[in-house]
Amino acid sequence: MSLFGEIEKVAKGWRWGHRPLVPRSVELPEAQHREFPTEWARTPVGKAARAAILRLGFAPLLRRELEVQIRGREVLDGLEMPVLFAANHSSHLDAPVLLNSLPRSWRHMTAVGAASDYFFDVWWRAVGTALAFNTFPVERKGMRRSAGMAERLLKQGWNILVFPEGTRSPDGWLGTFKPGIAYLSITAGVPIVPIALRGTYQAMPKGRNWPAPGRQPVEVRFGEPLWPLPEENHKELIVRVRSSLERLMDENSSNWWDAMRRSVRGETPKGSGPEAAHWRRMWESSRPIEKQGRRQESSKVWW
Protein backbone atom coordinates (compact mmCIF):
# COMPACT_ATOMS: atom_id res chain seq x y z
CA MET A 1 0.00 0.00 0.00
CA SER A 2 1.29 3.49 -0.84
CA LEU A 3 2.11 6.15 1.74
CA PHE A 4 -1.05 8.10 0.97
CA GLY A 5 -3.11 4.92 1.04
CA GLU A 6 -1.86 4.13 4.55
CA ILE A 7 -2.63 7.67 5.74
CA GLU A 8 -6.14 7.44 4.30
CA LYS A 9 -6.65 4.11 6.09
CA VAL A 10 -5.63 5.71 9.39
CA ALA A 11 -7.85 8.74 8.81
CA LYS A 12 -10.95 6.65 8.14
CA GLY A 13 -10.56 4.24 11.03
CA TRP A 14 -9.27 6.37 13.90
CA ARG A 15 -11.07 8.34 16.58
CA TRP A 16 -9.49 11.70 15.85
CA GLY A 17 -8.49 13.53 19.01
CA HIS A 18 -9.98 10.90 21.34
CA ARG A 19 -8.74 7.86 23.22
CA PRO A 20 -10.31 4.46 22.45
CA LEU A 21 -13.78 3.83 23.86
CA VAL A 22 -12.75 0.39 25.15
CA PRO A 23 -10.80 0.49 28.46
CA ARG A 24 -7.35 -1.10 28.34
CA SER A 25 -8.38 -3.64 30.98
CA VAL A 26 -11.23 -5.04 28.88
CA GLU A 27 -10.33 -8.15 26.87
CA LEU A 28 -12.05 -7.58 23.54
CA PRO A 29 -9.68 -9.01 20.91
CA GLU A 30 -11.17 -7.14 17.97
CA ALA A 31 -10.76 -3.77 19.68
CA GLN A 32 -7.76 -4.52 21.88
CA HIS A 33 -5.49 -6.09 19.26
CA ARG A 34 -6.26 -4.03 16.18
CA GLU A 35 -3.00 -3.54 14.29
CA PHE A 36 -2.17 0.09 13.59
CA PRO A 37 -0.71 0.46 10.06
CA THR A 38 2.93 1.59 10.17
CA GLU A 39 4.27 0.42 6.81
CA TRP A 40 4.09 4.00 5.50
CA ALA A 41 6.81 4.99 7.99
CA ARG A 42 9.24 2.60 6.28
CA THR A 43 8.71 3.89 2.75
CA PRO A 44 11.51 5.99 1.17
CA VAL A 45 9.58 9.14 2.04
CA GLY A 46 9.11 8.02 5.65
CA LYS A 47 12.79 7.06 5.99
CA ALA A 48 13.93 10.42 4.62
CA ALA A 49 11.61 12.32 6.96
CA ARG A 50 12.78 10.28 9.96
CA ALA A 51 16.44 10.85 9.12
CA ALA A 52 15.79 14.60 9.10
CA ILE A 53 13.83 14.46 12.37
CA LEU A 54 16.56 12.51 14.18
CA ARG A 55 19.45 14.52 12.79
CA LEU A 56 17.97 18.03 12.84
CA GLY A 57 15.54 17.66 15.74
CA PHE A 58 16.60 15.09 18.31
CA ALA A 59 20.37 15.24 17.77
CA PRO A 60 20.76 18.92 18.75
CA LEU A 61 18.30 18.46 21.62
CA LEU A 62 20.13 15.45 23.06
CA ARG A 63 23.49 17.13 22.55
CA ARG A 64 22.28 20.15 24.51
CA GLU A 65 20.60 18.25 27.34
CA LEU A 66 22.81 15.17 27.78
CA GLU A 67 26.45 14.12 27.75
CA VAL A 68 26.38 10.69 26.12
CA GLN A 69 29.24 8.16 26.12
CA ILE A 70 29.08 5.11 23.88
CA ARG A 71 30.99 1.93 24.65
CA GLY A 72 31.40 -1.35 22.76
CA ARG A 73 29.77 -0.30 19.51
CA GLU A 74 32.47 -2.20 17.65
CA VAL A 75 30.50 -5.41 18.29
CA LEU A 76 28.43 -4.38 15.25
CA ASP A 77 31.50 -4.46 13.00
CA GLY A 78 31.23 -7.50 10.77
CA LEU A 79 27.77 -8.38 12.11
CA GLU A 80 25.14 -8.79 9.42
CA MET A 81 21.68 -7.29 9.66
CA PRO A 82 19.07 -7.98 10.83
CA VAL A 83 19.53 -8.33 14.58
CA LEU A 84 17.42 -7.84 17.69
CA PHE A 85 18.50 -5.16 20.16
CA ALA A 86 17.49 -5.70 23.80
CA ALA A 87 17.88 -2.81 26.26
CA ASN A 88 16.82 -1.91 29.78
CA HIS A 89 14.08 0.71 29.95
CA SER A 90 13.58 3.48 32.50
CA SER A 91 12.95 6.67 30.52
CA HIS A 92 11.34 8.12 27.41
CA LEU A 93 14.89 9.17 26.51
CA ASP A 94 15.91 5.56 25.91
CA ALA A 95 14.66 5.16 22.33
CA PRO A 96 16.07 8.43 20.89
CA VAL A 97 19.39 7.96 22.72
CA LEU A 98 19.72 4.38 21.47
CA LEU A 99 18.78 5.19 17.88
CA ASN A 100 21.25 8.06 17.77
CA SER A 101 23.94 5.81 19.26
CA LEU A 102 23.74 3.41 16.31
CA PRO A 103 25.88 3.87 13.19
CA ARG A 104 23.90 5.68 10.51
CA SER A 105 23.47 2.59 8.30
CA TRP A 106 22.09 0.61 11.28
CA ARG A 107 19.90 3.45 12.54
CA HIS A 108 18.15 3.82 9.20
CA MET A 109 17.26 0.12 9.22
CA THR A 110 16.03 -0.23 12.82
CA ALA A 111 12.41 -0.42 13.96
CA VAL A 112 11.31 -0.01 17.58
CA GLY A 113 8.73 -2.14 19.35
CA ALA A 114 6.41 0.18 21.30
CA ALA A 115 3.54 -0.58 23.69
CA SER A 116 0.34 -0.63 21.64
CA ASP A 117 -1.86 0.51 24.53
CA TYR A 118 0.20 3.66 25.13
CA PHE A 119 1.90 4.78 21.92
CA PHE A 120 -0.89 3.62 19.61
CA ASP A 121 -3.96 4.59 21.63
CA VAL A 122 -4.53 7.96 19.92
CA TRP A 123 -3.79 8.86 16.31
CA TRP A 124 -1.40 11.78 16.89
CA ARG A 125 0.88 9.80 19.20
CA ALA A 126 0.77 6.76 16.92
CA VAL A 127 1.65 8.76 13.81
CA GLY A 128 4.29 10.83 15.62
CA THR A 129 6.18 7.90 17.14
CA ALA A 130 5.92 5.80 13.98
CA LEU A 131 7.40 8.62 11.91
CA ALA A 132 10.10 9.74 14.37
CA PHE A 133 11.24 6.35 15.70
CA ASN A 134 9.90 3.82 13.19
CA THR A 135 7.79 2.17 15.88
CA PHE A 136 5.38 -0.71 15.46
CA PRO A 137 2.79 -1.85 18.05
CA VAL A 138 3.75 -4.55 20.57
CA GLU A 139 1.37 -6.02 23.13
CA ARG A 140 2.62 -5.54 26.70
CA LYS A 141 1.58 -9.11 27.49
CA GLY A 142 4.44 -10.34 25.35
CA MET A 143 6.00 -9.95 21.94
CA ARG A 144 4.74 -13.39 20.93
CA ARG A 145 1.33 -11.77 20.37
CA SER A 146 3.01 -9.31 17.98
CA ALA A 147 5.41 -11.82 16.45
CA GLY A 148 3.78 -11.71 13.01
CA MET A 149 4.67 -8.06 12.41
CA ALA A 150 8.14 -8.47 13.92
CA GLU A 151 8.90 -11.52 11.79
CA ARG A 152 7.85 -9.66 8.64
CA LEU A 153 10.17 -6.80 9.52
CA LEU A 154 13.09 -9.15 10.12
CA LYS A 155 12.49 -10.88 6.78
CA GLN A 156 12.58 -7.47 5.12
CA GLY A 157 16.00 -6.82 6.68
CA TRP A 158 14.94 -4.48 9.51
CA ASN A 159 16.67 -4.64 12.89
CA ILE A 160 14.30 -4.48 15.85
CA LEU A 161 14.85 -2.68 19.15
CA VAL A 162 12.85 -4.16 22.02
CA PHE A 163 12.63 -3.34 25.73
CA PRO A 164 12.06 -6.80 27.29
CA GLU A 165 10.57 -5.28 30.45
CA GLY A 166 7.65 -4.01 28.39
CA THR A 167 7.40 -0.72 30.25
CA ARG A 168 9.56 1.90 31.91
CA SER A 169 11.00 0.98 35.29
CA PRO A 170 9.31 2.97 38.09
CA ASP A 171 12.49 3.00 40.20
CA GLY A 172 15.39 2.67 37.76
CA TRP A 173 16.07 -1.03 38.38
CA LEU A 174 15.41 -3.96 36.07
CA GLY A 175 11.92 -5.39 36.11
CA THR A 176 10.68 -8.79 34.95
CA PHE A 177 11.78 -9.72 31.42
CA LYS A 178 9.15 -10.99 29.01
CA PRO A 179 10.50 -13.83 26.81
CA GLY A 180 8.99 -12.58 23.53
CA ILE A 181 12.31 -11.33 22.13
CA ALA A 182 13.92 -14.70 22.88
CA TYR A 183 11.05 -16.49 21.15
CA LEU A 184 11.53 -14.25 18.11
CA SER A 185 15.30 -14.79 18.09
CA ILE A 186 14.85 -18.57 18.03
CA THR A 187 12.09 -18.67 15.41
CA ALA A 188 13.79 -16.13 13.10
CA GLY A 189 17.34 -17.36 13.70
CA VAL A 190 18.80 -13.91 14.43
CA PRO A 191 21.08 -12.83 17.31
CA ILE A 192 20.20 -10.58 20.23
CA VAL A 193 22.55 -7.68 20.92
CA PRO A 194 22.17 -6.52 24.55
CA ILE A 195 22.51 -2.79 25.27
CA ALA A 196 22.82 -1.37 28.79
CA LEU A 197 21.71 2.19 29.47
CA ARG A 198 22.91 4.13 32.49
CA GLY A 199 21.88 7.66 33.37
CA THR A 200 18.61 8.05 31.48
CA TYR A 201 16.67 7.40 34.69
CA GLN A 202 18.60 10.13 36.48
CA ALA A 203 18.10 12.46 33.51
CA MET A 204 14.37 11.91 32.96
CA PRO A 205 12.65 9.29 35.12
CA LYS A 206 9.05 8.25 34.78
CA GLY A 207 6.91 11.28 35.61
CA ARG A 208 9.25 13.92 34.16
CA ASN A 209 8.43 15.56 30.85
CA TRP A 210 11.85 17.11 30.21
CA PRO A 211 15.45 16.15 31.07
CA ALA A 212 16.91 17.47 34.31
CA PRO A 213 19.14 20.54 33.87
CA GLY A 214 22.90 20.33 33.74
CA ARG A 215 23.68 18.02 30.77
CA GLN A 216 23.20 14.78 32.65
CA PRO A 217 25.76 12.02 31.86
CA VAL A 218 24.44 8.95 30.05
CA GLU A 219 26.30 5.78 29.09
CA VAL A 220 25.30 3.37 26.32
CA ARG A 221 27.17 0.04 26.36
CA PHE A 222 26.80 -2.61 23.65
CA GLY A 223 27.37 -6.27 24.51
CA GLU A 224 28.43 -9.25 22.43
CA PRO A 225 25.63 -10.73 20.28
CA LEU A 226 23.84 -13.73 21.78
CA TRP A 227 22.89 -16.50 19.34
CA PRO A 228 20.31 -19.12 20.29
CA LEU A 229 22.05 -22.35 21.31
CA PRO A 230 21.00 -25.76 19.94
CA GLU A 231 17.98 -27.09 21.84
CA GLU A 232 17.75 -23.84 23.86
CA ASN A 233 14.20 -22.66 24.54
CA HIS A 234 13.02 -19.08 24.86
CA LYS A 235 12.92 -19.19 28.67
CA GLU A 236 16.58 -20.20 28.83
CA LEU A 237 17.63 -17.63 26.26
CA ILE A 238 15.90 -14.73 28.02
CA VAL A 239 17.83 -15.65 31.19
CA ARG A 240 21.07 -15.29 29.22
CA VAL A 241 19.90 -11.94 27.84
CA ARG A 242 19.18 -10.63 31.33
CA SER A 243 22.50 -11.93 32.69
CA SER A 244 24.35 -10.21 29.85
CA LEU A 245 22.57 -6.93 30.54
CA GLU A 246 23.36 -7.19 34.25
CA ARG A 247 27.06 -7.69 33.47
CA LEU A 248 27.02 -4.66 31.14
CA MET A 249 25.32 -2.59 33.83
CA ASP A 250 27.99 -3.68 36.30
CA GLU A 251 30.63 -2.68 33.76
CA ASN A 252 28.98 0.71 33.35
CA SER A 253 29.13 1.37 37.09
CA SER A 254 32.69 0.05 37.56
CA ASN A 255 35.02 -1.09 34.76
CA TRP A 256 35.44 -3.96 32.31
CA TRP A 257 38.07 -5.85 34.31
CA ASP A 258 36.26 -5.83 37.67
CA ALA A 259 32.92 -6.64 36.02
CA MET A 260 34.49 -9.61 34.21
CA ARG A 261 36.05 -10.96 37.40
CA ARG A 262 32.73 -10.74 39.22
CA SER A 263 30.99 -12.44 36.28
CA VAL A 264 33.44 -15.37 36.31
CA ARG A 265 32.92 -15.78 40.06
CA GLY A 266 29.13 -15.56 39.69
CA GLU A 267 29.05 -12.36 41.74
CA THR A 268 27.53 -9.94 39.20
CA PRO A 269 25.12 -7.61 41.07
CA LYS A 270 21.47 -8.30 40.32
CA GLY A 271 19.92 -5.70 38.06
CA SER A 272 16.72 -5.87 40.08
CA GLY A 273 18.41 -3.78 42.78
CA PRO A 274 18.28 -3.96 46.57
CA GLU A 275 15.38 -5.52 48.44
CA ALA A 276 14.22 -2.38 50.17
CA ALA A 277 11.38 0.09 50.38
CA HIS A 278 10.37 1.79 47.14
CA TRP A 279 11.76 5.17 48.25
CA ARG A 280 15.12 3.59 49.09
CA ARG A 281 15.32 1.84 45.71
CA MET A 282 14.56 5.13 43.93
CA TRP A 283 17.11 6.93 46.06
CA GLU A 284 19.81 4.36 45.24
CA SER A 285 19.13 4.40 41.50
CA SER A 286 18.96 8.21 41.43
CA ARG A 287 22.52 8.71 42.67
CA PRO A 288 24.25 11.27 40.42
CA ILE A 289 26.64 9.77 37.87
CA GLU A 290 30.10 11.27 37.85
CA LYS A 291 31.04 12.82 34.54
CA GLN A 292 34.06 10.97 33.21
CA GLY A 293 35.28 13.41 30.59
CA ARG A 294 36.41 12.58 27.12
CA ARG A 295 37.58 9.07 26.27
CA GLN A 296 38.57 7.23 23.13
CA GLU A 297 35.00 7.06 21.82
CA SER A 298 34.19 10.70 22.61
CA SER A 299 31.72 12.12 25.13
CA LYS A 300 29.02 12.99 22.62
CA VAL A 301 26.29 11.10 20.84
CA TRP A 302 27.36 9.64 17.48
CA TRP A 303 25.01 10.99 14.82
- Inform me whether the pLDDT recorded for 195 exceeds 80: yes
Please report the pLDDT score of residue 30 as a whole number: 44
Give the Å distances, CA to CA, from 62 to 6, 74, 132, 137, 301: 31, 22, 14, 25, 8
Please report the pLDDT score of residue 143 as a whole number: 57
Question: 83-119: per-residue pLDDT in tens?
Answer: 999 999 999 999 999 999 999 999 999 999 998 888 8
Percent of the chain whose predicted confidence (pLDDT) is above 90: 58
d(CA 48, CA 50): 5
Mean predicted lDDT score pLDDT of the chain: 85
- Inform me whether the pLDDT recorded for 181 exceeds 80: yes
Please report the pLDDT score of residue 275 as a whole number: 85
Q: Is the dihedral of CA 39, 43, 49, 50 positive or negative?
A: positive
DSSP-based helix, strand, coil % in the chain, nearest 5: 45, 15, 45
Nearest to 173 by CA among 157, 193, 196: 196
Please report the pLDDT score of residue 283 as a whole number: 81
- The top-scoring range by mean pLDDT among 32-46, 129-143, 202-216 is 202-216
Please report the pLDDT score of residue 11 as a whole number: 53
22: pLDDT confidence band, cut at 50, 70 and 90?
low
- Inform me whether the pLDDT recorded for 8 exceeds 80: no
- Inform me whether the pLDDT recorded for 18 exceeds 50: yes
**What are phi and psi for residue 193, nearest 5 degrees?**
-100, 110
Please report the pLDDT score of residue 87 as a whole number: 97
- Inform me whether the pLDDT recorded for 19 exceeds 90: no
303: pLDDT confidence band, cut at 50, 70 and 90?
very low
Please report the pLDDT score of residue 287 as a whole number: 82
42: pLDDT confidence band, cut at 50, 70 and 90?
very high
Query: What residue spans define the domains of the chain?
Result: 39-285
Question: 146-157: per-residue pLDDT in tens?
Answer: 678 899 999 999
Task: Report whether CATH 3.20.20.150 matches the domain 39-285.
Answer: no
Q: 3-state class of 107 per DSSP? A: helix
Mean pLDDT is lowest, of 9-13, 159-163, 288-292, for: 9-13
Percent of the chain whose predicted confidence (pLDDT) is above 70: 82
- The top-scoring range by mean pLDDT among 35-44, 48-57, 117-126, 203-212 is 48-57
